[in-house]
Structure 1
Amino acid sequence: MNSGINIKKIFFIDDNENASISFSNHLHIVHGASNTGKSLLIEAIDYMLGSEGLKEVKPESERYSEVAMQIHLNGEPYTVFRKWPSDSFEVYHDLIDSKDEAKFYSYFKHGKETKSVKNISDFYLSGLRNVEISSNLYGEKSALSIRLLSRTFFSSEEKIISSNSPIVAGDTSEDSKNKNVFKFLLTGRDDSNIKTVVRGKEFKSEKKGQLDVLNEVVETLKSDLSFPDESYDSLQERKVKLETSIDDLRKSLSQINKSLSGIVKEKRDTALELFSVEERNNNIRTNLVNFETLEKVYISDIERLRSQEEAAFLLGIGHHAQCEFCGNTPKNICKDLKDVESLGNFSQLEIEKIKLKLSELNETRLRLQSQLDIYNSKASGLRYKLKELDDEVEKRTPELTIIDGELSECTKEKNLISTEIRLLERISVFYKRLQETEVTAVPKKYKSPDFYPESDAIDNFCRIYKEILDEIHFPDVSEVSFDYSTFDVVIDGKPRSLNGKGVRAILHSVFKIALLQHCKEKGIYHPGIIILDSPLVTYRDPLKSKYGELDADEKQLSNTKVSYHFLKYLSENNSGQFIIVENIDIPSNLTSTIGVDTFYGKNAEIDQRSGLL
């Protein structure tokens, strides 16, 4: 939140005691005799806001080594300390009368910042980051600083009576910055979007460098050309023809690949079928070998059984009488001979069974042999078919290789030509930039009106300015306008600068107050403080004042109550803080509503303050 600056207290520090002034009211007036330190107070505030130095007032100032200022910045309390003299600032949190390390915030400095210590503007403008202000009509920019901004709310005695615009500092080299700060406050828009214009000498130097670089780029690109004598259109025609050829070759290649894919599939299917047939053949051959072995077993069994049968037969012949071994009669044939006879009968039966199995085995062998012959014939046919398919693939492969080679060559040539075309296009682009650079004239700097605030902002400012003049009863004002040539107001056709010192002072003050009012009304940032040294110099004593006799318009104004209404208006205006240094007496009916410090000078009595220090 950018609520601005509010000064609570300023004090000068020595070893024993401090000299201070507190600002408890939004309007605070320091008045009194001459040479009492009133202007030193204004300069001290300026010193604490970042001015380069603060003059010493001897012998009074010799005892003081440091200045401190308590403030609210964007609503937060701080105390700023600065040695007298010094380029450094020490900032502490809270409103404190002496340094407390526990509340230390940071160091800041006047001038160029260092790696770790920022410029004091970084502190006071902490809510305004990256605001850029044009320094001149070339659009060269610098960051907004508290020093630039102070010219819109701070007025020394010398400045307030000047015939220059209230927002310029007297240094003509800074006029553009001052005007653009005024524009920033009026509109809320800085100059960060303004494009910087290169100065003539720098532009010519940059142009020469650009031409040298572009020429070198064009020549380098030309050296990379493979067909330097062939035109862009000719290369485009070749590229189109090659693209047509590539499309035709890809179609042919696709057709051959499609045909080959069918053959390959058929070959794969045939090979699988051949594998299945040969696997079946192997199974049959294995079975036939096994059957042959089984046949030998059967024949061997038959021969063994026949041997048993013959032996039983021979053992039973002639044994129907007495047995030659045991002497028994036929009725008493031994059990062993009966067993032999039974064995012979069993062998005969087994032989018949084996012969039956052998017959079945032979029938099975015949069937398997027949199947083997059929599968052998089928396998032979499949092998022949595979050979035919291999021959077809081999026949088409050379054609495929030729087309693939032609496609590769065409693609290679097309890529080369495409690269060539891109090179020519890049050469054309850079050559165009080369020509454009050659014919580009030195850019013209901006004109002053390019930086003028919008008319509606100026109109609103002038309206507020006139309302304030009416509020303070400034005599005979019917119109307030703005002169862009001087960046100052014109009252009823009369420039402010043509008035006497005192009238210029009051009109200068109204200028800065109107700017504050405009910002508050529009919700635009403003520091929220106005510091004026001698805005009512019109009401000076012509015999005692260093400014001498009053001009005619000053005399006319001095006969009015503008001074009273001016102070009354500020006392009722809560839009900001107003700190005023004046020589004139303050109307008694206002002292109860405003803050007042009176310096009585050498004639100060007991309990009266003689001066600032």
Structure 2
Amino acid sequence: MIPGFYIKMVKVTGPGKEDASIGFDKGLNVVSGPSDTGKSYLLGCINYLMGGDTPPKSIEEANGYECVWMQLSSYSGKSYTLKRTFQDSNIYMTEGEIDDANTRPLIEGLSSSHSSKKEDNISVFLLKMIGLHNKKLKESKYKKRPIRFSDVKTVFLKDENEIIAEHSPIYVGQHTSVPVEKALFNLLLSGEDDEDLVQAEDPKVYKNIIKGKIELTERLLGLERERATELSEKVAKANQKEMNIKIEELSRSINESNQLIKDQENKRAEILKSIFQVEAHITHLKELLERFSILDAHYIADLKRLEFILEGEHLLSQLPNMPCPTCGTNVDSTKIKDYLERNNEKLVKSISRERIKITTKREELKSTEFDISEELEDYQKEKSELHQSLKKLSILLENKLKPINKILREDFQKYISLNQDTARLEDAKEIISRYEMELEEYKIKIKEKDKGERENKRLPEVHYQKLCDQMKEQLIGWGMSINTLNFDTNKMDFIINGKARGNFGKGSRAILCSAFLISLMKYCWVQETYHPCCLVLDSPLTTYREGDKRQNEDEVEVSVQEAFYKDLASITDNFQIIVFDNKDPSNELLERINYHHFTRNPNLDRYGFFPI
């Protein structure tokens, strides 16, 4: 499951009332319009369904509405619908989209309050979606407690007052919550919670654990350095440019060789097909010759029978008067001679005609046999030639083309393997860097005399620096002039161009807070730590309220406003950002974002969140 979630829809319902709803999506979502159109009410609905203590602030348009719904979707594709009435402490949930929620039973009793002992509460449900369930945060010098979703809200949802606050954006402004907020910030940056927090009365155990981790990490680091050295020697011998050229050349040669082999294989298949056809013809012709031989034998037998008949006439004429050897009756030779004399000429003519007919057929048969024999000889000659061609082609394929192809592939694989060594070397360097960072962290821990000294523990500077680099890039992308941007680990806040963030005017504080929250979300995603990958910002560009006396420090420059929207419009589908503000993005961006505009004019488009 991919951690995180995004808000798909918020809906408010009531008996006899038309549903008030608004849809969101991944990427940038902007809800703009003047005050008193329901933007802050929407923000209150989101907070309320995620375990907030109080329902959204009542407004006139909300009269008669009793229930708020919200569809959350995970980045893995699952959807959940949450429901909560304005008088209920429980939140009801079902799996599936909000439009189908009424067709499925809702799971009752998801408490709005966190409990580490039970899982039937909204806090645990949301923490599981982020991957933070069962993580521990340091609550005081000697205590740790399970994380709550309310802890995460500081980096997920900022209302119009929090976004311009002078205190650090990781704090909520209460002194008692500072240790937890620091621990959460460290967890988001490093991915490590305070699970391994050791009691102060047993510092030896704690130090032995850390020493064991150092020993293991040093051993792994040594192995990885050996691997990097071996890979460096291989890569050093290779010229990357020449290697890429060689890979391209070999790739072309292999493709040409494959095509040549394919063509020759096709030729061989055609020859085999021709051989099968020729052999079929030869078999057929041989069968014909065998049949003709049998037929000729019949003709010869017929001729012999005719000769026998003529000889029989002569023999019958020579018979004397004598008893029949079979029946004993006297044979009258005179009658036989009379019969033969009367029919002899007719019999001789008949036999002569039959002999001529049979002889003619035999001559025709011999002629046909001769033609077929010649045709058979031609086919046998063709078969021999085809076998010779097949033999030559097979020798060409097996003794030349395929061996050459094999050599080309082996050479190609060698260069590919060498090219992969470069990537493996970079991977080894990254692992070495990570192990070195871990060693630095462990060495900081091992210097602590007991657990109480861990109160002043700080993350390695590299974590803060990476976040500062990300935030600086974000602000420059919005057209702000940023020379230096550092993190003050004492105040847990940023210093921009030598000036503390809290000392800037409201407009700058809002922009800087927004940049921090967006940069933190991107940082966590790149570093694969933890974050909802969803961010809700209220009034990042409009920091004054109607009726307030406007000052220059309250204003966000128009160029920054335009760059702000233009940059966020290109954010990927790995994140969701929802902006509630009076300022509109430019028209050219509207097709690239999910945009809702409230007019506060009943005669023009959408009046506000609630239907009028």
Superposition TM-score, scaled by structure 1 size: 0.56
Gaps of 5+ in 1: 199-441
Structure 1 partner of 2:538 = 533
| Structure 1 residue 182 displacement after superposition | 1.1
Structure 1 partner of 2:25 = 24
Structure 1 partner of 2:570 = 572
Structure 1 partner of 2:186 = 183
Q: Judging changes above 3 Å, is the alpha-carbon distance between structure 1 residues 131 and 444 closer, same or farther for their aligned structure 2 residues?
A: closer
The answer to whether the Cα contact below 8 Å between 1:481 and 1:489 also exists between their aligned partners in 2 is yes
* CA distance in structure 2 between the partners assigned to 1:35 and 1:23 by the alignment: 21
Say whether 1:495 aligns with 2:500. yes
Structure 2 partner of 1:193 = 196
- Which of 139, 150, 154 is the equivalent residue of 2:153? 150
Deviates most, 69-78 or 486-495: 69-78
SS in 2 for 1:150: helix
* CA distance in structure 2 between the partners assigned to 1:39 and 1:546 by the alignment: 17
Structure 2 partner of 1:51 = 52
Structure 1 partner of 2:176 = 173
Structure 2 partner of 1:462 = 468
| Structure 1 residue 137 displacement after superposition | 2.6
The answer to whether the Cα contact below 8 Å between 1:152 and 1:182 also exists between their aligned partners in 2 is no
Structure 2 partner of 1:453 = 459
Structure 2 partner of 1:505 = 510
* CA distance in structure 1 between the partners assigned to 2:608 and 2:134 by the alignment: 45
* CA distance in structure 2 between the partners assigned to 1:115 and 1:143 by the alignment: 10
Q: Judging changes above 3 Å, is the alpha-carbon distance between structure 1 residues 88 and 563 closer, same or farther for their aligned structure 2 residues?
A: same
| Structure 1 residue 96 displacement after superposition | 2.4
The answer to whether the Cα contact below 8 Å between 1:500 and 1:554 also exists between their aligned partners in 2 is yes
| Structure 1 residue 115 displacement after superposition | 7.9
| Structure 1 residue 129 displacement after superposition | 3.0
| Structure 1 residue 593 displacement after superposition | 0.9
The answer to whether the Cα contact below 8 Å between 1:56 and 1:62 also exists between their aligned partners in 2 is no
Paired amino acid for 2:94: Y
SS in 1 for 2:80: strand
Structure 1 partner of 2:527 = 522
* CA distance in structure 1 between the partners assigned to 2:61 and 2:524 by the alignment: 40
List per-residue Cα deviations over 1:571-606 (Å, max 9, x = no partner): 1111410001001132111111111111122x3315
SS in 1 for 2:519: helix
Higher Cα Rg: structure 1 or 2? 1
Q: Number of aligned residue pairs: give it.
A: 360
* CA distance in structure 2 between the partners assigned to 1:504 and 1:123 by the alignment: 33
Q: Judging changes above 3 Å, is the alpha-carbon distance between structure 1 residues 448 and 4 closer, same or farther for their aligned structure 2 residues?
A: same
Paired amino acid for 1:604: P
| Structure 1 residue 482 displacement after superposition | 0.2
Structure 2 partner of 1:585 = 584
| Structure 1 residue 449 displacement after superposition | 3.0
SS in 2 for 1:168: coil
- Which of 55, 68, 88 is the equivalent residue of 1:86? 88
* Percent of residue pairs identical: 29
* CA distance in structure 2 between the partners assigned to 1:54 and 1:78 by the alignment: 21
The answer to whether the Cα contact below 8 Å between 2:20 and 2:609 also exists between their aligned partners in 1 is no
Structure 1 partner of 2:132 = 128
The answer to whether the Cα contact below 8 Å between 2:37 and 2:607 also exists between their aligned partners in 1 is no
Paired amino acid for 2:452: K
Structure 1 partner of 2:217 = none
- Which of 602, 605, 608 is the equivalent residue of 2:606? 608
| Structure 1 residue 547 displacement after superposition | 4.2
1:57-96 correspondence to structure 2 within 5 Å = 57-75=58-76, 76-96=78-98
* CA distance in structure 1 between the partners assigned to 2:200 and 2:66 by the alignment: 47
Paired amino acid for 1:579: I
Q: Judging changes above 3 Å, is the alpha-carbon distance between structure 1 residues 47 and 20 closer, same or farther for their aligned structure 2 residues?
A: same
Gaps of 5+ in 2: 202-448
The answer to whether the Cα contact below 8 Å between 2:119 and 2:125 also exists between their aligned partners in 1 is no
| Structure 1 residue 549 displacement after superposition | 2.0
Paired amino acid for 2:52: S
* CA distance in structure 2 between the partners assigned to 1:447 and 1:190 by the alignment: 14
SS in 2 for 1:537: coil
Say whether 1:162 aligns with 2:162. no
The answer to whether the Cα contact below 8 Å between 1:134 and 1:176 also exists between their aligned partners in 2 is yes
* CA distance in structure 1 between the partners assigned to 2:453 and 2:73 by the alignment: 40
SS in 2 for 1:185: helix
* CA distance in structure 2 between the partners assigned to 1:489 and 1:483 by the alignment: 6
| Structure 1 residue 60 displacement after superposition | 2.2
Q: Judging changes above 3 Å, is the alpha-carbon distance between structure 1 residues 453 and 489 closer, same or farther for their aligned structure 2 residues?
A: same
List per-residue Cα deviations over 1:488-544 (Å, max 9, x = no partner): 111011011000011100000000001011111112221000100000125x6xxx7
Say whether 1:598 aligns with 2:597. yes
Superposition TM-score, scaled by structure 2 size: 0.56
The answer to whether the Cα contact below 8 Å between 2:70 and 2:98 also exists between their aligned partners in 1 is no
SS in 1 for 2:494: strand
| Structure 1 residue 554 displacement after superposition | 5.0
* CA distance in structure 2 between the partners assigned to 1:562 and 1:3 by the alignment: 32
Q: Judging changes above 3 Å, is the alpha-carbon distance between structure 1 residues 503 and 483 closer, same or farther for their aligned structure 2 residues?
A: same
* CA distance in structure 2 between the partners assigned to 1:114 and 1:106 by the alignment: 18
The answer to whether the Cα contact below 8 Å between 1:133 and 1:192 also exists between their aligned partners in 2 is yes
| Structure 1 residue 117 displacement after superposition | 6.2
Paired amino acid for 1:571: A
Paired amino acid for 1:30: V
The answer to whether the Cα contact below 8 Å between 2:114 and 2:122 also exists between their aligned partners in 1 is no
Paired amino acid for 1:61: A
SS in 1 for 2:452: coil
Structure 1 partner of 2:15 = 15
The answer to whether the Cα contact below 8 Å between 2:599 and 2:605 also exists between their aligned partners in 1 is no
List per-residue Cα deviations over 1:137-183 (Å, max 9, x = no partner): 33x11111111011112101010010011111111111111111111
Q: Judging changes above 3 Å, is the alpha-carbon distance between structure 1 residues 446 and 65 closer, same or farther for their aligned structure 2 residues?
A: farther
* CA distance in structure 2 between the partners assigned to 1:545 and 1:487 by the alignment: 32
Q: Judging changes above 3 Å, is the alpha-carbon distance between structure 1 residues 593 and 114 closer, same or farther for their aligned structure 2 residues?
A: closer
* CA distance in structure 1 between the partners assigned to 2:125 and 2:501 by the alignment: 35
* CA distance in structure 2 between the partners assigned to 1:444 and 1:164 by the alignment: 28
* CA distance in structure 2 between the partners assigned to 1:79 and 1:196 by the alignment: 42
Structure 2 partner of 1:406 = none
Paired amino acid for 1:119: N
* CA distance in structure 1 between the partners assigned to 2:133 and 2:597 by the alignment: 40
Q: Judging changes above 3 Å, is the alpha-carbon distance between structure 1 residues 102 and 561 closer, same or farther for their aligned structure 2 residues?
A: same
| Structure 1 residue 100 displacement after superposition | 3.6
The answer to whether the Cα contact below 8 Å between 1:107 and 1:117 also exists between their aligned partners in 2 is no
Structure 2 partner of 1:262 = none
* CA distance in structure 1 between the partners assigned to 2:117 and 2:494 by the alignment: 43
SS in 1 for 2:81: strand
The answer to whether the Cα contact below 8 Å between 1:93 and 1:103 also exists between their aligned partners in 2 is no
| Structure 1 residue 460 displacement after superposition | 0.4
Paired amino acid for 2:505: G
1:54-453 correspondence to structure 2 within 5 Å = 54-75=55-76, 76-97=78-99, 99-100=101-102, 102=104, 104-105=106-107, 107-113=109-115, 118-126=120-128, 127-138=131-142, 140-197=143-200, 445-446=452-453, 448-450=455-457, 452-453=458-459
Paired amino acid for 1:548: K
* CA distance in structure 1 between the partners assigned to 2:477 and 2:117 by the alignment: 50
